[in-house]
Amino acid sequence: MSRTIPYRFEPNATAAALHAEHGEIEDGTETGVQVTIAGRLMLRRVQGKLAFGTLQDSTARIQLFAPGKVTPDFADFCDLNIGDWIGVTGEVMKTRKGELSVKVEGWSLLAAAARPFPDKFHGITDQDTRYRQRYVDLWVTPESREVFVLRSKAISLTRRWLEDRGFLEVETPMFHPIPGGALARPFTTHHNALDQELFLRIAPELYLKRLTAGGFERVFEIGRVFRNEGMSTRHNPEFTMLELYQAYADYADIMVLVEELVEHLALELVGTTELPYGDKTINVAAPWRRASMIELIEETTGQVVRLDMPIDDLRAIAREFHVEVKDSYGPGKLILEIYEKTTESVLWDPVFVTDYPKEVSPLSRDHRELEGFTERFEGIIAGRELCNAFSELIDPVEQRARFEDQAQQKADGDDEAMVVDEDYLRAMEYGLPPTGGLGIGIDRLVMLLANVHTIRDVVLFPTLRPEAT
RNA sequence: GCGCCUCUAGCUCAAUUGGCAGAGCAAUAGACUCUUAAUCUACAGGUUCCGGGUUCAAGUCCCGGGGGGCGUACCA
């Protein structure tokens, strides 16, 4: 069969709309309504001089009803392969057996599938193939398509929600001359004309705070960040982060913002705040619990830890919980390690874990009451970090001291430590108002909303080894 | 990085103690005017992930390598 492929095609209906508008008509009746639809032929049942097909578009599936006396080039229509793209024009009707259909009174081949489609019932089960050939997976794994539609809606709703609260969306550089804003190893690249080493950003944080200094009182950015670290069910080397900064706010304000945003997304996208997740549910209704790291460690382990206890005591406690203790760890780092080892993964319903040690929080402001701690929190859901936020450090002198401490840690061999960013310090020296800041991992948020358990199921094209050829 | 599991036709899966590599779907050729994972007939489809080894004989056992999954470690 050789057919000319048209240059354009103009559908005026979708499968889902047809089901919504005509789903209730009587069996064996015709509507008199002519429509044009397009999609892939997913199933085909030729029965002599009558053929049935199942057409799938981006919304749903609908049956094609093709009597030999009505359908032009009937033999060619019967020769279509599963996976072929076609456009169909005809009347909306329901078969005697009660299946809503479009009678094929005209049709065009829009693309032939030269490769056989996967098993029409089982689809693709091999994870690797699903990720590498997402263009096939999206057709044969309905849940896969649904997750990415949900992801798109979640990001769109988030944008609207923030804009309604006066936030301005901005774009800041992905190439950073100095990697900063988080503790992570960066990817490195090189600009030829400048003959300069550049880093793919590990966080937009320091640029967004420059904008706060620049007078944008509420800014946010949703974009990709890159971290040259391990891959797992929760880590992809490139992932999507929402960061926002709100002038005149502190970390308590940001907690309210987070719980309200997540509650809003759950209600809009899942219809409830009781999110099914695996064989349990997660209740994301606001307000979420607030509890300090120290408090939570004691709650789960019975062990009291304090920043001002003798460091050897802290080291002993850490070893007791099988934490790998390095000599360079101060008390703050030890407490964080103990928390991550014993407590984080057992927290299920949302909790804001507050008051992180200053030692491990180089960009957060000193706690207004607790010596040695900062006004920082992480939102933990299902044992995983959803977000990280703080009352931003606004004192340039203190920030310089923290940077220099980080630089020393880097010199001591910590390749995730920060380096001094003089331009950021200059911006702070011009004055940064009290500011609350937030980073949310969008991929992990979508995992929660979509009830999926691996980040690769919420990233269209996850990072994989190159395919062997 | 470490441990366990896995890899057979385009897809989904079989193959007993080591004994001729098979089936369904898809594809190809045909039959069939209410099917819907249509059905029926016929035909075709293979570097069993790769490379070694043991054996009369290897998809199967052993060694090495590769891809993938899970767990763990790492990871703001």
User: In this structure, is residue A124 part of a structural domain?
Assistant: no
Residue nearest B26, CA–C1′ metric:
A116
User: In this structure, is residue A313 part of a structural domain?
Assistant: no
- Predicted local confidence at residue A1, as pLDDT: 42
User: Looking at the structure, do residues A164 and A271 belong to the same domain, yes or no?
Assistant: yes
Percentage of chain A modeled with pLDDT above 70: 99
User: In this structure, is residue A2 part of a structural domain?
Assistant: no
Angstrom distance, A128 CA to B50 C1':
19
User: In this structure, is residue A125 part of a structural domain?
Assistant: no
Q: Which nucleotides of B are covered by protein (CB under 7 A)?
A: 1, 10-13, 24-29, 31-39, 66-76
**For the residues A246-271, what does the mean pLDDT come to?**
97
Angstrom distance, A83 CA to B41 C1':
25
**For the residues A384-399, what does the mean pLDDT come to?**
94
What range defines the domain where residue A66 resides? 15-111
User: Looking at the structure, do residues A69 and A184 belong to the same domain, yes or no?
Assistant: no
Whether the complex's predicted ipTM surpasses the cut of 0.85: yes
User: In this structure, is residue A447 part of a structural domain?
Assistant: yes
Question: Domain boundary residue among A94, A111, A128?
Answer: A111
Q: For chain A, give the mean pLDDT.
A: 92
User: Looking at the structure, do residues A40 and A170 belong to the same domain, yes or no?
Assistant: no
pTM of the model: 0.92
- Predicted local confidence at residue A128, as pLDDT: 85
Better-scored residue on pLDDT, A113 or A155: A155
User: Looking at the structure, do residues A22 and A107 belong to the same domain, yes or no?
Assistant: yes
User: Looking at the structure, do residues A149 and A107 belong to the same domain, yes or no?
Assistant: no
User: Looking at the structure, do residues A275 and A404 belong to the same domain, yes or no?
Assistant: yes
Angstrom distance, A208 CA to B53 C1':
62
Confidence of residue A427 (pLDDT cuts 50, 70, 90): very high
User: Looking at the structure, do residues A380 and A444 belong to the same domain, yes or no?
Assistant: yes
Domain count, chain A: 2
Angstrom distance, A144 CA to B66 C1':
28
User: Looking at the structure, do residues A204 and A73 belong to the same domain, yes or no?
Assistant: no
User: In this structure, is residue A424 part of a structural domain?
Assistant: yes
CATH, residue A70: 2.40.50.140
Q: Which nucleotide is nearest to A131 (CA to C1')?
A: B68
Q: Which nucleotide is nearest to A80 (CA to C1')?
A: B27
User: Looking at the structure, do residues A240 and A388 belong to the same domain, yes or no?
Assistant: yes
Residue nearest B6, CA–C1′ metric:
A126
Asked which of A151-165, A211-225, A231-245, A428-442 is least confident by mean pLDDT, the reply is A231-245
User: In this structure, is residue A387 part of a structural domain?
Assistant: yes
Q: Whole-angstrom Cα distance, residue A409 to residue A128?
A: 39
Tens of pLDDT, residue by residue over A296-320, are 999 988 999 999 999 999 999 988 8
Angstrom distance, A233 CA to B71 C1':
11
Confidence of residue A166 (pLDDT cuts 50, 70, 90): very high
User: In this structure, is residue A466 part of a structural domain?
Assistant: no
**For the residues A355-378, what does the mean pLDDT come to?**
94
User: Looking at the structure, do residues A147 and A107 belong to the same domain, yes or no?
Assistant: no
Angstrom distance, A112 CA to B47 C1':
30
**For the residues A336-364, what does the mean pLDDT come to?**
92
User: Looking at the structure, do residues A86 and A174 belong to the same domain, yes or no?
Assistant: no
Residue nearest B39, CA–C1′ metric:
A47
